[in-house]
Amino acid sequence: MRIHCCWIVAVLFAVIGAPISFAQKPPAPTLPKGLAALVYPEDNPHLEEKVELGKQLYFDKRLSKDNTISCASCHDPDKGWSNGEAFATGVRGQMGGRSAPSIVNSAYSALQFWDGRAAQLEGQALGPIQNPIEMDMPLEEVIAKLNKIEGYKKQFQALYKTDVTADGIAKAISAFERTILSGDAPYDRFKAGDTKAMSEQAQRGMKVFFNKANCSACHTGHSFSDFAFHNIGVGMDKEKPDLGRFVITKIEGDKGSFKTPTLREVARSAPYMHDGRFKTLAEVVDYYDKGGHPNPQLDEELFPLKLTKEDQADLVKFLTEGLSSETYPHVKPPKLPE
């Protein structure tokens, strides 16, 4: 006698009290208000155990050659997930030529780093570990090192059914970084109808942002970034300027172009620009007001704004008050495996 499969499922449902899914994915975490839905890689779905492993790896200085530098050294939750300095500093006190970009909402960016040389968070995660002036650990060395730590071996076996691997490290760190999200700021509540969510000055600054200054030409969308690459003239007055995206694409129009950073939590992540030249948002606004530094590839969106001093102060107020969330994604360093 042939029994219909739907009848079997119905019987099982009645017995165990829940629907059955043979390929059910773990539920994604609830996102802060104001943010768009996250798209998770097919081969790296959200899993709390993976996030916890990634958090440990993120804060573990043993991933560096001399046990002095972790991911959190340059992307510190206490410093807006940046490092509070003009440049990133690695092992043996070596200093790079670019600032450490905040990782807040980097989950939404298809291309990573200031120049977009890596695809997705998974493509970015292993770069700093191997970089000789950052963590200076060849992959084979860091894998061997972590495989000697029983706590890591057990977690990798539980998650991936294997000992520590480079792919597993990248996926775990990325899973953790994908949880560093900022939304539900005063701006979001104001936009949702709470007219008292922002001060009058911040509201004036919002109008400057979206209208008079047209900041939203590039700082657009829920993360206040188009995650594209733009030349705003920063550093182009040097004899040998950092050419940014051009180094990757070799396209003439990309000379001096760098990725638009999110403005979420921007008040926490000073100094600003890819070379960390501006200590305050007031300096940043003043630079934009002057139209950037002229050069052949300067974006057409850059031109003198002629903002009043009040406009500039209002704009800074919007950036600091309106886009700073009370639910800032602060994470304390976890207990590390032994």
Q: Which CATH architecture has domain 186-322?
A: Orthogonal Bundle (1.10)
Q: How is 200-247 classified by DSSP, letter by letter?
A: HHHHHHHHIIIIIS-GGGTS-TTTT----EE---TTTTSSS---BTHH
Q: Dihedral, CA atoms, 282, 284, 288, 294, nearest 10 degrees?
A: 140
Nearest to 29 by CA among 175, 221, 174, 172: 175
Q: Is the pTM above the cut of 0.85?
A: yes
pLDDT tens for the chain, 338 residues long, are 333 444 333 333 333 343 333 345 667 778 999 999 999 999 999 999 999 999 999 999 999 999 999 999 999 999 999 999 999 999 999 999 999 999 999 999 999 999 999 999 999 999 999 999 999 999 999 999 999 999 999 999 999 999 999 999 999 999 999 999 999 999 999 999 999 999 999 999 999 999 999 999 999 999 999 999 999 999 999 999 999 999 999 999 999 999 999 999 999 999 999 999 999 999 999 999 999 999 999 999 999 999 999 999 999 999 999 999 999 999 999 999 99
The whole-number pLDDT of residue 28 equals: 74
Q: Which CATH class is domain 48-177?
A: mainly alpha
The whole-number pLDDT of residue 26 equals: 66
Query: Hey, what are 141's tokens?
Result: 């060395």
Q: Where are the domains of the chain?
A: 48-177, 186-322
